[in-house]
Structure formats: C-alpha cells, structure tokens
Amino acid sequence: MKKTIAIIMGGYSSEYQISLKSGQVVFDTLTAINYDCYRIHIFKEKWVYVDQNNAEFPVDKNDFSITLKGSKITFDCVFNAIHGAPGEDGFMQAYFNLLQIPQTSCGMYQAALTFNKRDCLSVLKPYGIKMATSYYLNFGDPIDEEAIVKTVGLPCFVKANKAGSSFGITKVHNQSKLQEAINMAFKEDDEIIIESFLEGTEVSVGVISYKGEITVLPITEIVSENEFFDYEAKYLGKSQEITPARISEDYEMKVREVAKKIYTTLKLSGFSRSEFIFKNDEPHLLEINTVPGLTRESILPQQAAAAGISLSDLFENAINEALA
C-alpha cells in the first residue's frame, strides 16, 4: 500500500522561496516513485494543502490532517523541506513529535541548537571543534565598536544568529562600516554573532543517516566570485561548487572526521550539511544546516550524486529512516 507523505515547504523566514523550490523537487521525485504525496505550504498566515491546480485546502492543526471531498487524510510521514523557521529551528519537530507523526529531519532539541549559531558553537567548543573567534550582541545591547574590533579583528563577519541562506551577513573591512552591518543583521534577528575572518579553503560536508549508517558524503569545495559565500553565490550562480573538493588526503580525512564527530556528538539524524574553512591546516566550523537545499543544483544532492546516490534514493531513504 502506498505511503501517504506530506511535504512541508515555505516557512516564516526570508528563505521561503528557496524552500518552495526544494519542496517541489521532493514532491516531483517521490511522486514518481510511487508515494502518495501532498504539498503542504506552511506560512504564518496559513497552513494549506496545494493541489495540482494550485487550489488551496486548509490544514487542521489539531492533528495535521486535511479534508478532501468529505474524506479526512492523515499522513504516514512528513518530509521536512522548510529552510529556516519554523522547519529548521525545532518548532515543527516538536509539533510532529507531540502528534507522533514521523518526520525526516533531526529532533526538536538538535534543530533548535544547530539553528542558533551562538549556542551550537558554544556546545561544540568543549569537544575540541575549532571555530572563529566571536563576539555576541543582543538587540538593545550597548555597542562598543572598539571592543568588537579588539576581540575579532578586521575584516570580520557580522551575522544574524538565527538565519540561513546568508541573509543578514556582511563582511566588514573598516570599523566605520560596523554599525551599518549590525543594523542589517538585526533586521533578520534580535541576536547577532560577529566573527573573525578566516582566510582559507572553504568546504561543505554533507553527513546523513543512510540505510542505518552515518555516512559522510563527498566533500564540496566552495569558490565564490563574491567576497564570501553569500546569497548571490549560493543561488544566483556567483560561485563554483566543486565536488569532490580539490583538497589533500590529509585535509579530507580531517574534515570528514570532524563533520562525523559533530553529527554524532549532537545526536543528529536525517540530513546535515556543515561548512568549514581551513586555517593553519585545520578545519574550522562555520555553521550547520539540518534542512539543507534539496534542488538538483543544491550542494547536498550534488554530493549524494557523487556518492552514487540518486535523488530518489536520497529522499526515499530519508522517509525509511524516519519511519524506522
């Protein structure tokens, strides 16, 4: 009997359009391999099922069901394709956990932790994970530019603490531009993180649970045409994403070990994609994504393809892992 799958997409953040693209790819792929799939758009103002004619039908949030032609439809599993809030920050994970509906991403705590860059880095630091020097600010805090520059140096990165797809990130070369960058980051979040600039090779490492085993996928080297791997570089073709990465065997071994250690230490499940920069021959963690992009051009599917895992295998495995 066909499994009934809800594919949730959209979300409450600036990443919603990217999520809709990821969700559509998941929908097309799973529909083609004999799943009964439903596109569920999650927005602040509405949760709706969207049919093939783009007609919308409300979702009953009491049990995450929909009603079509008088028949109630419930779901065997939820495929989470929401980048950012509320799909990557723990809220949807907690909701489905309460309803006892399996879902494809990591658990509630892991999602909330990894989405909060500051907290995640703080948790991993005692485990020997290397990272940039950082300075934290909450909205309303006094801003001591001298102290910031003394701590992290210049250039530095000003980032929204809980945002993805490089929204709210600025590379700051001069102290005179620091306040402007802080203001921009606060438009995305009320917490920000300011980090020292790490100059070196940047790589992205996918780690997934595949057929019951923690699997590190082939590594991708990021070469941005812009100053860093920003929104344009990620989504508008202003970068090269080279898989496998052009790095030494020693670098590859080190970053694979660190990425797997992070996955196991945080007790992650489902998909993850971690970003690193090599400094002094050691990988330094930038951030972790637990609902990475899932279009054919996205990094994790590229890595899976390099490992001989097709999109259909990748997505079907995610459902099987969730159901298990």
CA 110/CA 288 separation, integer angstroms: 11
- Model confidence at 224, pLDDT cuts 50, 70, 90, reads confident
Contact between 75 and 101 (Cβ < 8 Å): yes
What pLDDT score does 165 carry? 44
What pLDDT score does 166 carry? 57
Measure CA 270 to chain center. Answer: 12
Are residues 70 and 142 both part of a single domain?
A: no
Are residues 66 and 183 both part of a single domain?
A: no
Are residues 47 and 189 both part of a single domain?
A: no
User: pLDDT at residue 283 above 80?
Assistant: yes
pLDDT (tens digit, 9 = 90+) per residue, 62-73? Answer: 999 999 999 999
Are residues 138 and 190 both part of a single domain?
A: yes
Are residues 9 and 148 both part of a single domain?
A: no
Are residues 283 and 304 both part of a single domain?
A: yes
Are residues 207 and 317 both part of a single domain?
A: yes
* Owner of token pair 């991403």: 105
User: pLDDT at residue 24 above 80?
Assistant: yes
User: pLDDT at residue 164 above 60?
Assistant: no
- Model confidence at 167, pLDDT cuts 50, 70, 90, reads low
Q: Looking at the 3D structure of the chain, how many domains does it have?
A: 3
- Model confidence at 238, pLDDT cuts 50, 70, 90, reads low
What pLDDT score does 237 carry? 54
Percentage, residues of the chain above pLDDT 90: 89
Q: Domain range for residue 158?
A: 134-196
Strand partners, 204: 220, 275
Residue 11 belongs to a domain with what CATH number?
3.40.50.20
The stretch 238-260 carries a mean pLDDT of 94
Contact between 27 and 8 (Cβ < 8 Å): no
- Model confidence at 229, pLDDT cuts 50, 70, 90, reads very low
Are residues 313 and 207 both part of a single domain?
A: yes
Residue 295 belongs to a domain with what CATH number?
3.30.470.20
Are residues 121 and 237 both part of a single domain?
A: yes
Residue 157 belongs to a domain with what CATH number?
3.30.1490.20
CA 14/CA 235 separation, integer angstroms: 13
CA 208/CA 276 separation, integer angstroms: 17
User: pLDDT at residue 234 above 70?
Assistant: no
Are residues 151 and 221 both part of a single domain?
A: no
What pLDDT score does 5 carry? 98
Are residues 252 and 224 both part of a single domain?
A: yes
**Helical (H) or strand (E) element with 285:** strand 282-289
What pLDDT score does 320 carry? 97
**Helical (H) or strand (E) element with 220:** strand 220-224
Taking all residues of the chain, what is their mean pLDDT, rounded to a whole number? Answer: 93
What pLDDT score does 51 carry? 97
Domain boundary residue, one of 150, 177, 196: 196
Are residues 124 and 242 both part of a single domain?
A: yes
The stretch 51-56 carries a mean pLDDT of 96
